[in-house]
Structure 1
Amino acid sequence: MIHHTHFKLSALATLIASQWLVNTAHAEQQDTIVIVAKPNNQAEQTIDSATLEQRQANELSDVFRTTPEVQVGGGSAVSQKIYLRGIEDNMLNVTIDGAVQAANLYHHQGRLSIEPDLIKSVKVQAGVVRATDGAGALGGAIAFETKNPQDLLAADERAGAQLNAGYYSNTEGYKGSATGFARATDKVSVLASVTLSDLDDFVDGEGNSQPHTGSKNQAGLFKAVAEFTPDQQLVLSYDARRDEAYRYHRPQWQPSKKNIAINQEMQRDTLTGKYHFAPAGSAWLDLQVNAYLTETSLEHIQGPWGDYLGEGESLGIDVRNTSAFDVLTLTYGADYREDEGHLTSPTYGADKDKGRVQGVYAQADWEIASQWRLTAGARYDKYKLKESKGSQFNHSGVSPNATLTFQPLPNLSIYAGAGQVIRGATVREIFKLDGATSHPERKEETAITQEAGLNWQYDNWAFTAKLFDLKIKDVVAETHTRPRQLTNVGTLKNQGGSATLAYNWQDLIAGLSYSHARPELNGQPLNDDTKGIGTAIGDTWVFTLDYQVTQQLQLGYDGRYVERLTHVAEGYDEKPGYALHDIYAQWTPFSHQPLTLTLTVKNLFDKAYRDHASYGETNEVATGTLDTGRDIRFKLGYQF
């Protein structure tokens, strides 16, 4: 509360869940549209809003609970970070409605802030990325999309509203939201949503309350969609989130003499404008323009070094067109982004980094023959960074990609691909702008990814499997010797694979999924202190079960099993394995009345554990908290 204000992919791994089938089945049951594969047939993991609602997602760890290739560590919600195959989100291209979330405020806290209730879908692209996935996606890309008015309005409705109220037993917390949506005219529809939550300190699986982990949050979303003609659409949106709490200076650590509690305030504002023009009968013109502005800030009030205010801003635009030529589809365009980071304190004064990246790209999808498909593309990016009290950098390079898919049978496809991604110097961690500067001879980072896999479907079964090899050369990190500098520290290698299997029978959907990744820097496994790069994760299994008991009642189970990690960096402890069990029940008592009751139990058996992506026990100062114990969540929703 605020006081003042080796790489293994055994035969067993081939028994595991197809996200394609699971998501497709959800789409049929929930009437949501889910894109689950790109044109090159590579599997793309997608999480839809129905899944988030049933699981009552309230933070990032809830959003990715059923996605084995994604881990979320940090303990408390504010310190949670996303790791894709063990690679931290700082090395990914993360967007919200197409707006790049570039700012890295403070390495002790997560850089992504979003309200799950406002999410329509989350798409996770690991491995070989396309040229259209944006600049600098060294380890992959994650795209969040928020809801539109059309997602809530029925075809014959002019207006409506949705009210939700939820309770969380673990934090004795409350959450409420109100959403209104309407067709203002025959061509214009709008949506406005407000979400408020008040959560107390969470209790871990040992029954211990973790002090100063509670918070008050406010989130809002406004969207206006204008259909000027059947060929033209304009979408304007404003997405905002506020968080305030009296929490530890380093919220992912337990209290110590160097980690006291202070008042903190965080906020993020994202403004986007999307224009789409696709005239009927024209195969060569499908124009999309996406402009955005994201502002984010973190303020430490009366902290150990005074009042600190860190602010990040990203302003960008992406213009692309898609042309179809018989068996060839070509998407081409240009994007531009300016980033600024500001740090203000009474002790150190003001510091500012200013950077930009501009790129041109093209991506082609070519049906070579009836059984062969080739997708290939490239982007050329130029980076420029001017550091406060430091050097100026100009980096550039080409990022090509190609994937060949062979479909020997109608229900079987096999693919192999490779890609390279370069990332030049960008704005530094904002809360350290007064600290380490970049080495004058710092070079751009280069990621080389190779991936091969297959997709198979038979009756009610679906199966996918893939192997990957990632190498990132000239990884940039801060040295531990003085003077501390940001410099190229070596090569990161990450090998692994995943496989998925799912079965859909009438009203029952079952899936089992597996992921293995072993990221290493210069031959040593990543650890808790390789901040900004990633961490080592044990093999992860996820089992999901959804059963539509009646038209009004749906039940589900999610199990996440993480194996013990013994291959760790020198000087670091092994990471114990753990198993988490979640259940949910969603009931619509009256078939003709839009009342929904949802009961979700997270960590059913109150397991005391620390996520492998969370900070461990390094010393008396740097010791991470355990994660949340059992949490019984109840939600009442009414739409009219």
Structure 2
Amino acid sequence: MKLSSTACLMAWAATFAATTAMAQTIELDPIRVEAEQAQEALGNTEVSQEEIEARNPSTVADVFAGESEITVSGGAAIAQKVLVHGIEESLLAVTIDGARQNKSAFHHTGNVLIDPALLKRVEVSSGIAPADAGPGALAGTIAYETKDARDLLEPGDTFGGLATTSYGSNGNDFRRGLTLFGGVGGYEWLLSGTKTSGNDYKDGDGNVVQGTEADVTAVSGKFAYTTDTGKRFEFSAEQVKDTGRRAMQAGPGGLFFARPDFAGVVGRPSVYREALSRRRSFTFNYTDEADDGGFSPDVQLTWNEQYIEAGGAVGTNDSLSGKVENEFQLGMGTLTAGVDFFHDTATGEGALNTGSPEEKLSNLGLYAQMRQDLNSRVSLSYGARVDSQRLTLADGQTFSDTGVSVNAQADVILSSSLTMNIGAAYSWGGYELSEASLINLGGAWTYGTPKASTSTSARIGLRWDQGPWAVTGALFYTKVRDVNDVLTAARTLSDLTTRGFDGSVGYYGDRGFVRMNLTYADVELSNVAIGSTAYYAGRPVGKMIGLEGAYEVSPQWRVGGTAEIALTNNDTAGVGGMTALPGYEVVNLYAAFTPRQNENVEVRLDVRNLFDETYAARGSDGIGNPTRIVALNESGRTIALIASLKF
């Protein structure tokens, strides 16, 4: 593609600033544009450790309870996909502890299988992504961060552990986990394992939803050494897999293909057989925690694999990626600059994948992001990155392209209580691999011409803070151009747009808080309302309301809850044979008790779906298609008892 002279100049200037920064270092106060309140109004949501613990998640859907702009599809863990403003996570840059993650190998399964047992926090940017967030951030980012041993060790201790067990009444779900950790003389280690098992759950009408049994196993380890001068070397390994019985229907070649995202397919009888979704990753990190603002680079190298064995759909997506970056403290702010790369491979491994069913995609990126306070009222974040890619298809064809991404955001104090936020970005996403399990399915593919995707995003909002009250409101817009249909060889192109409004009202007291979030996201594919089977693109969201609150009754007792309210979405009525999407209201409550005599013990009672609502989650696949698909209802009322012991 041809690069504009302005874009090239911005990228060159940012890179030049990085290479000359060492000679002008200076100590600075934290940049205000990075503050939590500014980030929220700019479309960057943080799910904190405190919020994760309050929500007590067993799946990724629980992590985002109460967040209206983030929706998660339903069913068992194998099927869950995360959507931000209705755009699927495969169009976002997703990382775990900074390590890039790739997508699933089959469109009826989720993209990034996660067990949230050790999650520390999650940061989500909608639409506008900084240059140092990594490549492929067409519609934003999702950054998961997990706990280290030092996050869990008590001061002065060299060994500890955390044991958790829980039982849920609906489906007889049994979850148990054990984490052991220690550290001495600069060395740290952590070993963790969780297992969740159960039966098929019942929906709010008391009907058993077959193919939804919980069967997730997760194991992980982290090992680190920090020198006396603050240089930290860390290696981590993780495997998460879901191996439950899932609904399958007959497909090509007389084989059965798993569709765990549906309750059934109209006209195709279902059988129930074991399917496997597995994610494995190995990551090395080097950081200099005694950074003095000079040259002390962060280095990361990671390999991860997504493997799917869903009946006749079998495939692997693997990725080798890495980065070297440095944060420079300049007289005018903080500059983060570096270089990153990835090499992804998608391989079909089923009985019907013929010939050499493999595609490869390589990327090399150069980036710089500046964050600064211009004065006491104006803070800025702006940057650029250049990415160069090479795509190799299964028939041997190769395609190369290079593109520039630029972004800019501002936080402007208008008065003692009112702040305005504004931002815009142009992102070059590049090529996309085909779905691994479908490459050369039933015969060699004859490809159309792939095209690099790009996006434009903008957001403007206001934030009002007065005492314990906080109110925000923002308009957002993201358009992704030339989204490739990766389910076929034809590479059909579409444009994907989401536009709408985010708002929140919160009261934050000394002993508790209550917050309401509201999101309206109008999602269109090729200028019409998007359907609920637009895989690797998005889903129809409409109007969503999230509620969350918590109150510390005493040092021993804490109560709280979340709610998700979806309003009827009429935009889909009559589009591709779809109907309007019905609304629903789901309320979850909890009470947690810590004995006065032993603060390391906690007993908790959760009541999920308190009013036994019968519903299919708004982000789920296939909803609103009653003539083709039997939608997958979510679990009805569940009473769960959880006990945890820290030692």
- Tell me the residue number matched to 1:20: none
Which residue is equivalent to 2:190? 191
2:259 to 247, 250, 275: 250
Bigger shift: residues 459-468 or 328-337: 459-468
Partner SS for 2:50: helix
- After superposition, the C-alpha distances for 1:354-400 in whole angstroms (9 at most, x for unaligned) are 11111000011132233222221011111211111263221220000
Q: Give the 3-state SS of the residue equivalent to 2:485 in structure 1.
A: strand
Q: CA deviation at 1:620?
A: 5.1
When structure 1 is superposed on structure 2, of 540-549 and 249-258 the one drifting more is 249-258
Q: Are the counterparts in 1 of residues 38 and 421 from structure 2 also a CA contact under 8 Å?
A: no
Deviation of residue 309 (structure 1)?
3.0
One-letter amino acid matched to 2:404: V
- Displacement of 1:616 in angstroms is 1.4
User: Is the partner of 1:155 in helix, strand or coil?
Assistant: coil
| Aligned CA distance change for structure 1 residues 570 and 149 (closer, same or farther; 3 Å) | same
Taking the aligned partners of 1:38 and 1:293, their CA distance within structure 2 comes to: 34
Q: Structure 1: which 5+ runs fail to align?
A: 1-33
Cα RMSD for the two superposed structures: 2.1
1:431 is aligned to 437
Contact 2:104 2:306 in 1 (8 A): no
Paired AA for residue 176 in structure 1: R
Decide whether aligned partners of structure 1 residues 116 and 157 sit closer, same or farther in structure 2, where only a CA change above 3 A counts: same
Letter in 2 for 1:61: A
Contact 2:42 2:422 in 1 (8 A): no
Aligned counterparts of 2:595 and 2:608: Cα–Cα separation in 1: 23
- Which residue number in structure 1 is paired with residue 450 of structure 2? 442
Structure 2 counterpart SS, 1:402? strand
Asked if 1:295 is matched to 2:305, the reply is yes
Structure 1 residue 40, shift from structure 2 partner: 10
The TM-score, its normalising length taken from structure 1, stands at 0.89
Secondary structure of 1:369 counterpart: coil
CA distance in structure 2 between the aligned counterparts of 1:359 and 1:37, rounded to whole angstroms: 30
Between the aligned partners of 1:458 and 1:284, the Cα distance in structure 2 is: 39
- Is contact 2:433-2:486 (8 Å) kept? no
| Alignment partner of 1:134 is 2:139 | no
Q: Measure the CA separation in 1 of the matches of 2:379 and 2:48.
A: 28
SS in 2 for 1:129: coil
Q: TM-score, normalised by structure 2?
A: 0.88
* 1:112 counterpart SS class: coil
Q: Which residue number in structure 1 is paired with residue 322 of structure 2?
A: 317
**Shift in alpha-carbon separation, 1:278–1:594, aligned structure 2, 3 A:** closer
Once the two structures are TM-superposed, the CA of residue 43 in structure 1 deviates from its matched residue by 5.0
CA distance in 1 between partners of 2:167 and 2:289 (Å): 45
The answer for the alignment partner of 1:529 in structure 2 is 533
394-403 or 340-349, larger mean C-alpha shift: 340-349
Instruction: Select the residue among 530, 544, 557 that pairs with 2:548.
Output: 544
SS state of the match for residue 201, structure 1? coil
CA contact (8 A) 2:74 2:80 kept: yes
* CA deviation after TM superposition for structure 1 residue 558, in Å: 1.3
Superposition deviation, residue 111 in structure 1: 1.3
Q: Which residue of 2 aligns with 1:16?
A: none
Corresponding residue of 1:164: 164
Provide Cα deviations, 1:182-221, integer angstroms capped at 9, x if missing partner: 11x2211111111112121111111111112214221112
Alpha-carbon distance in 1 for matches of 2:378, 2:304: 41
SS in 2 for 1:175: strand
Structure 1 CA distance for aligned equivalents of residues 500 and 209 of structure 2:
35
Query: 1:438: how far off?
Result: 7.9
d(CA) in 1 for partners of 2:619, 2:446: 27
| C-alpha distance in 1 between matches for 2:535 and 2:315 | 19
Question: Which amino acid in 1 is paired with 2:535?
Answer: K
Tell me what 1:468 maps to. 476
**Helix, strand or coil at the partner of 1:485:** coil
What is the CA deviation profile of residues 473-524 of structure 1, one whole-angstrom value per residue up to 9, with x for unaligned ones? 2222258xxx8611223x2222111111211122121111111110112220
* Stretches of structure 2 lacking an aligned partner (at least 5 in a row): 1-33, 248-257
Match in the other structure for 1:109: 109
Match of 1:519 among 503, 520, 523: 523
Residues 1:328 and 2:333 aligned together = yes
1:440 is displaced (CA, Å) by: 4.2
Q: What is the alpha-carbon distance in structure 1 between the residues aligned to residue 314 and residue 571 of structure 2?
A: 39
Secondary structure of 1:431's match?
A: helix
In the alignment, structure 1 residue 459 sits paired with structure 2 residue 470:
no
Greater shift after overlay, 135-144 or 52-61? 52-61
3-state SS of 1:345 partner? coil
State the distance in 1 between where 2:203 and 2:121 align: 29
* 2:394 pairs with 1:388: yes
Change in 2 beyond 3 A, CA 1:571/1:284: same
Contact 2:366–2:387 at 8 Å: present in 1 too? yes
Q: AA paired with 2:59? A: E
Query: 1:263: which partner in 2?
Result: 274
Query: For residue 26 of structure 2, what is the aligned residue in structure 1?
Result: none
Q: Which amino acid aligns with 2:587?
A: H
Residue number in structure 2 paired with 1:557: 561
The Cα of 1:630 is off from its aligned counterpart by 1.0
Q: Given that residues 212 and 246 in structure 2 are in contact (C-alpha distance below 8 angstroms), is that contact kept between their aligned partners in structure 1?
A: yes
Contact 2:96 2:143 in 1 (8 A): yes
Return the alpha-carbon distance in structure 2 between the equivalents of residues 52 and 633 of structure 1: 17
Matched residues in 2 for 1:412 and 1:167: separation? 46
* Conserved 8 A contact 1:438-1:486: no
Indicate the residue corresponding to 1:233 in structure 2. Answer: 232
1:353 correspondence with 2:359: yes
Q: Which amino acid aligns with 1:309?
A: V
Query: 2-side partners of 1:291 and 1:438: how far apart?
Result: 35
The answer on whether the counterparts of 2:603 and 2:644 sit within 8 Å (CA) in structure 1 is: yes
SS at the partner of 1:272? strand
Deviation at 1:263, TM superposition (A): 2.3
Q: Which runs of 4+ in 1 moved over 4 A?
A: 37-41, 435-440
CA distance in 2, matches of 1:66, 1:135: 29
